[in-house]
Amino acid sequence: MQELERVNPDLEKLKSHFQFPNGSLIEYDVNAPKDKWVIKRVDEITMDSAYDSWPLIDGEF
């Protein structure tokens, strides 16, 4: 927990970013519209927020 607090010291920034101790960064929009995925980018790779267009799960479980 202390490591998470160390890499995320700014509480205001936590409203839109979360840094993992290993360096990975998630950027999100907590005010995204109801029908949109809140995660915007992971490690600077833009995510598709229109989750209703994502393919359904396929394969065996």
Rg of the chain's alpha carbons, rounded to an integer?
14
For residues 35 and 24, the answer to whether their CB atoms sit within 8 Å is: no
Sheet holding 17-19: strands in order across?
A: 17-19, 25-28, 39-42, 45-46
- State residue 51's pLDDT score: 78
pLDDT band (50, 70, 90) for residue 10: very high
Residue whose structure tokens are 């205001």: 12
Q: Cα-flanking dihedrals φ and ψ of residue 53, to 5°?
A: -100, -5
- State residue 34's pLDDT score: 86
- State residue 31's pLDDT score: 93
- State residue 36's pLDDT score: 85
CA atoms lying within 13 Å on the CB side of residue 6:
6
What digits encode the pLDDT tens for the residues 13-40?
Answer: 999 999 999 999 999 999 988 888 899 9
